[in-house]
Every structure is written in C-alpha cells, then in structure tokens.
Amino acid sequence: MRALLDTAEIRIESWLSETEDRNLANDVLDGLTRPFKELPPKHFYDTRGSELFERICELPDYYPTRSEREILELCADEIVSETGAGELVELGSGSADKARILLDAMARAGTLRRYVPFDVSEQVVRDAAQQLVDEYDGLHIHGVVGDFERHLDRVPPSGDEPRLVALLGGTIGNFPPGTRRRMLRKIGTLLGPGDRLLLGTDLVKDPAEIEAAYDDPQGVTAEFNRNVLHVINRELDADFDPDAFEHIAFFDRRHEWIEMRLRALRPCSVLIGELGLRVEFAHGEELRTEISAKFTRARVRDDFEAAGLSMRGWYTDRNARFALSLAARAA
C-alpha cells in the first residue's frame, strides 16, 4: 500500500502498483487465446477511454446516466432518511457528481460524516477528495485507489454511523451472471446489520431503444469500443490496427444483455510484443468486449438472494428506464 495523502480531513491509499495495474497482460493472455475471443470491459478506461465514456453519458441516445440522475434527484432524501446514512462508500466513484446528490441529502439530514471514494484512477480520487472537502464542512474522506474486483477488503471498517455502499451506473451489469452474484456477495461483506447497498441497474425495455444507446450515429461508442485496442497497443507493445475493426452492439434477448463486439474487417495478424504472442483474426471474426445486462425487479431480487442479500427498496425514474435498489445483508 502507498499512502498518497494523509491530512486532517483526507486520507488516500493506493493498492495498485504501477506495473500490475488492472491485470491487463493476464486478461489479454486469457482472452485472446480462447476459441471465442473476449476481453473484460474494465480495460476501456484509460484517460482517453474515461473521456470517451463521459462523452457517451452526454449523448442523446444514452439514457442510463440521465435516468439514474433523475432517480437520485427524486429519491436521495428518502434513501438517506430510510438508511440514516452518515457514510457513503462509492465503488467506481469517477468524478463523484452522482455522489454529490447523495452527500447533499446527507448534509440536509445532518448525518454526513465520511465519504469513501473507490476508483482505479488515482487522479480521479485525488481530484474528487480535494473538491469535496472544500464543499462540505467537516466531511472526512478516505479514498481508496484499487480494483474493486480484487481490493474490496481494503475499504476501511465502518464507523458508528450507518453506511451506504453505492455501486451506480449499471456497472454490475458488466459482469457475467455468476461473477455478478459473487461480486454482490463480496460487497455484502462491507455491510453491517444497519448498513445498506444502493445498486444501479438498467432495466429491460424495447431492444431498439437499448441498441440505440450503444450504437450512436456520432460514433462515440464505436471509438470507446476500439479504445481497448489502443490500450493494448500502448501497454503491451502490440500492433492492432483499430481501423481494421468495426463496432457491433446488439441486444441478446435470451440473456437480456447488450453485447459489444469488435469485428475484423479483414484477416489480421496481431503481435502482442510484451507477451510474445501472435493472434490471428479471420475476416469477420468477432471479439467480445462488453456485456451490459438489463434487469427486471425480479432479476435484481434473485441476484440479491443468491448473494445473501435482501431487497429493501426499489426506485425508478418516471419512464422506468433505470432502477436504484436498496439491499441489506439477509438475516
């Protein structure tokens, strides 16, 4: 662990070594040697990828961010009074602008004590911490820089006041179904008896509307998708030609998830220098880069139950596009 900052109000710890990072090399080695090639979506998010994602959130067709914000604005006071939360732990905190809506509600309720932002990006955690201590009087911040698939046990123990652990944006939908339940179970270990999980999930709806959100005419999502190839080129000394791959997004009705893929427009032979690995793509071969599951209330409830949690609240936006649910550790 590296202590990055330690003042009266802010403590930031990093659990990522610069070399190990997000385990890119091992994920590439696994994913590109399979019969159906696949990469985990977490590698989209270098600086450029995070910028592209922010642009996606502003696209007219990408409804999840706006819908979730609408729910937060509508329901934050109720969520805070329901939970009595004095501490907010946010997994994948990013720029913390959603957190602000919850922190405001906690400040109004007079319970606000501590914010624990958890993110892979050191810069993101630093910036959020610096800004928020100035904005909220008496707020303590304990930032954790890490990968929440591996470093969840580094979240500091909860204090005396009830804790709200938030996983927003629909990120839980990016995990395959078994891993998703395993993740929820691990997150459950952060909860004491009075604590709650606040989970954001995109909802099942007209497939055309979902597909439009992942295949914008401006091509921002396509660039975001291809960005993973730029990341591999830079980090692992590879020679992908990103322009030789086209962006695909389709809703899989059986599994009720969106899939993003990159399809080779011609045969490609790629050298991953750092791994001494040569990877062949046939013309038309597809590489799966992301699934993003869409939920019903029953599906969220079943996942909670399989993970030792129980649903305690369900909030949607006016158009029922997106949901926030509250869960507690099952007795």
Binding positions for ligand AVJ, rule: CB under 6 A = 56, 64, 169-171, 173-174, 214, 221, 290, 292
Closest separation in Å from C-beta 292 to ligand AVJ: 3
Q: Which residue is nearest to ligand AVJ (CB)?
A: 292
Q: Kindly tell me which of 67 and 292 has the beta carbon lying closer to ligand AVJ.
A: 292
CA–CA separation, 257 and 265 (whole Å):
25
Q: Kindly tell me which of 214 and 315 has the beta carbon lying closer to ligand AVJ.
A: 214
Q: Note whether 272 and 236 are within 8 A (CB).
A: yes
Closest separation in Å from C-beta 224 to ligand AVJ: 6
Closest C-alpha among 253, 254, 244, 250 to residue 285: 244
**16 three-state secondary structure:** coil
Secondary-structure percent of the chain, ordered helix, strand, coil, rounded to 5:
40, 30, 35
Closest C-alpha among 153, 150, 117 to residue 10: 117
Closest separation in Å from C-beta 107 to ligand AVJ: 26
Q: Kindly tell me which of 31 and 169 has the beta carbon lying closer to ligand AVJ.
A: 169
Q: Kindly tell me which of 195 and 216 has the beta carbon lying closer to ligand AVJ.
A: 216
- Which distant-in-sequence residues (6+ apart) come within 8 Å of 262 by Cβ? 225, 226, 228, 229, 245, 246, 247, 248, 286, 287, 289
**Would you give the distance in Å from CA 299 to the centre of its chain?**
19
Q: Note whether 99 and 117 are within 8 A (CB).
A: yes
- Burial (CB < 10 A; 0-12, 13-18, 19+), residue 107, is middle
Q: Kindly tell me which of 63 and 136 has the beta carbon lying closer to ligand AVJ.
A: 63
Q: Kindly tell me which of 40 and 64 has the beta carbon lying closer to ligand AVJ.
A: 64
Q: Kindly tell me which of 93 and 171 has the beta carbon lying closer to ligand AVJ.
A: 171
Please report, for residues 22, 31, 55, 56, 63, the alpha-carbon distance to residue 221 in angstroms, rounded to integers and kept in the order given.
22, 21, 9, 7, 13
